Chains A and B, each alone.
Chain A
Amino acid sequence: MAPFSSLPRKREPITGGEWIPACAGMTRKVRIALGLLGVLFAVLTTAPAVAEGVPLPAIPKAKGEKCVEEPQLMRRYHMEFLGHQRDATMRQGIRTTRHSLKECISCHAVDGTDGKPVTIKSEQHFCNACHSYAAVRIDCFQCHASTPEVPGRQAAR
């Protein structure tokens, strides 16, 4: 009866926030090889820019003390964490906060000159800091709020 697609795709359901991407365990050799390839690619594509000294992205400081994952892991696999959480929340109603976009946005909100958190339209936005540097388009915020909840906005309880 249930269509195939109503099942969570590819990934196993989780009951907590303990999920680590499979690729995190790939062998050292493979990772070194991939890394070298990446460096080669970066050098080839950005060589002229580096010569002129494009500044590295200035990553805004988060409000929390420590990220939910190691920064190295987060930088590489944040989309896997988010994607996994997304399916669990959307399809199953699992609302753990560890890998939820809402929590990322809350913790990493950057206040603008008016004292309010800046939206994704701003270059100051946490996501933009890296994404515009890496020229990777983000599709999340056509639908998702890019700023934390404004207190008192929801219907009175």
Chain B
Amino acid sequence: MTGNVLLMLPEILLGAGAVLLLLWDLRLPAEKKGLLCWGAVAVAAAALAATWAPDIARTLSASPADAASVFAHESFAVDGLSVFLKRLFAITAILVFITAKDSVDAFPNARGEWWTLGVIALLGMFLCSGANDFMTLFVSLETVTVAFFALAAFRRDKPASVEAGLKLLVMGSLSAALLLYGIALIYGSTGTVFFSEIAGKIAPRALPDGTLVVPAIPAEMVVGAALVVLGLGFKTSAVPLHVWVPDVYQGAPTPTTAYLSVGSKLAGFVLLIRVVAMFGASPELGAQIAAFMSVIAGVTLLYGNLGALPQTNLKRLMGYSSIAQCGYLMAGIAASWEAGMSSALFYMASYVGMNLAAFAVIMSVSRATGSHEIDDYSGLARRSPMLGMALTLALLSLAGVPPFMGFFGKFFLLGAAYGRPELFWLFLIGIACVVVALYYYLSIVRRIWSEEPRIRTEIRAPRRVTLTLAAVSVVLIGGAILPNLVQAPATAAVKQMGVFPGKPPVPPRALR
């Protein structure tokens, strides 16, 4: 029951690191605040290294009891899924912190706190990845959300930033309240908030004489489960709680947008996978929730891709693109069998690379031009071949063009939906949206390479940004040549959960 404290080492390091950064910020003179970036990177790197601590302890210790994988009365799971996501979150934070340094250093006010809040958000994401009961889920989710309220409204001198913070706040609190009411209804019908106990109460069980008892699922349980999925849809930017996404992406400071677009979204997805796994214990409830999510996935895909078409502001376009990417991930999770879940994890890994590469370029370009309009990206390849190349690669990967990791991610996800005959309509929507997405991503690529720049001055990116972009590009191509490097741990993590069938499940008759 007590577990090994090593299992929580990454979270302990992050919590301590956030406090130390805040204290260090107090002592640092204003001209040295840039050092805090490296402090934050060091904390995230330490947390990343600490995710291997349980493995090391397991090999060193003789008794297997020390290597228990749940912590604090099953509230906190340290399994393949949580470790996979923790590594993704830590890499996300390191990439964002390194590429955001110049933009944050240029903030006129209180720039030290950006790093502290960033580490606190990372702590929330780490807790999200291991949340194994509804209390941990709610608190970890709010740790991420409230940190992002402050990060989005960070430029108090800019009306757009404050407006972004306010919109994030209203939608975030609204979705938290809906989520909470859903949790209350589930607690009401099962009498517990622990995922394992809820799954045990709704799962069919065999009596000693061999008959199978299928517990009836009360209506409030179904409504509660639907509200939980909706409430998590705020984080993953799924319809209908997606309305904040384009506004906040455009208005928030770009480092915050980069962090929000990846970290906060994936935190929502890992929680979604956990609750879907729990609801799946009951075949009836699992099928209803999967049908509900497939409808959300279809609408989200259409909304994100069609909304992106008329955009002229690149950050806003990335907002719609983020909604569209959420649709693909939801489609894989709605398919709710092993391939859908593992390809969702694979796509999350590729999403970290391609989205952060795009935002790293956006940050560098906007520091030179002061604009996020797509018009100002015309001829970017002539002003800075390196940035033009990196943005092209990121956009092609987001569009799902073959030689990149994004293609394989979409291929696997839509393949998982195709494996379910009753989700064939969702597969068709997904294919149609890939074509639509090609149009708006490739029109930016065309302008980068074939149009004349309005201003011809060279754009110079700092060396650490170009090095980071080069590393991410190598991973995006390398992950496409050797997809198994990511696919193997993702599949192992999903298999370890042991709830998703290895083959597409046959739909119950009522749903046909």
Q: Do A and B interact?
A: no
Taking Cβ atoms with an 8 Å cutoff, the residues of B that contact A are none
Taking Cβ atoms with an 8 Å cutoff, the residues of A that contact B are none
